[in-house]
Amino acid sequence: MKIIVFGGTGRVGRVILDRALSDNHVVTIFVGNISKLTVRRENLKIHAGDVFNSQAVRDAIRGQDAIISALGPDNSGSVNDTLAVAMKNIINGARESGVSKLVAIANAGILQLSPRELRLDSPNYPQYLKKTSREYLDAFEILKTSELDWTVVCPPFMSFAEGNQSYRVAADFLPESGERISVQDVAEFAYNLLFTSEYSQKRVGIAY
């Protein structure tokens, strides 16, 4: 399979990248700062570009079979629409190239707390996470109107503990009493979604 990874130098993206390369897929990483990329493999292709550049994103997606977006918010400013703009460009690139499979990483704030309330809108939701969750929500609102075979993986607090795969998942909600998950297990679950449509067009909560 030919897979393109956006956000492949981040916590989750880096693990997904390594996993896909180890399985001998042809992987393209879309990266703004090549100096952050420490891995070099024969089956790794590097596409330097800016997610705000729609043409660069379209060019990178052309010829791919699946897309992983592990992009996170750019916290350099008080107002930022990096994720929303990136998602628009990725969706348009996917449509133009006929790529339907897209797996994205967000956080648990965009999951439902109840049928009518998002977790991020709860009074008990951590204030320091609200801005990040809003940015993920903006991107999700764009994605959910698309016809793509998408899934959004929504973890709570992620640790660097070793993955054990004894996690629970739930569509649209966080598993009951779920509070944490390892980066490794989030990456493994997201990677495996490339090969199934079990959670097509769903947010998926994942936790121990």
H/E run at residue 112: strand 112-114
- Both structure tokens of 68: 């992983």
User: Which pLDDT does position 20 carry in this prediction?
Assistant: 98
pLDDT digits (tens, 9 = 90+) for 13-60: 999 999 999 999 999 999 988 888 888 889 999 999 999 999 999 999
User: Which pLDDT does position 73 carry in this prediction?
Assistant: 87
pTM, rounded to two decimals: 0.94
H/E run at residue 135: helix 127-143
Mean pLDDT score of the chain: 94
User: Which pLDDT does position 33 carry in this prediction?
Assistant: 85
Our separate counts of H helices and E strands in the chain read: 5, 12
pLDDT digits (tens, 9 = 90+) for 108-127: 999 999 999 999 999 999 99
User: Which pLDDT does position 43 carry in this prediction?
Assistant: 96
User: Which pLDDT does position 161 carry in this prediction?
Assistant: 84
Q: How many residues does the chain have?
A: 208
> What letter would DSSP give residue 1?
-
Average pLDDT over residues 123-146: 96
- Both structure tokens of 36: 């952050």
- Both structure tokens of 74: 């750019």
Burial class of residue 67 (count of CB atoms within 10 Å of its CB; 0-12, 13-18, 19+): buried
CA dihedral (143, 182, 33, 151) in degrees, to 10, reads: -20
Which residues, other chains included, contact 95 with Cβ-Cβ below 8 Å and sequence gap of 6+?
Answer: 146, 148
Report whether 2 contacts 28 (CB < 8 A): yes
Query: Cα dihedral sign for 51, 56, 57, 60?
Result: negative
Better pLDDT: 35 or 186: 186
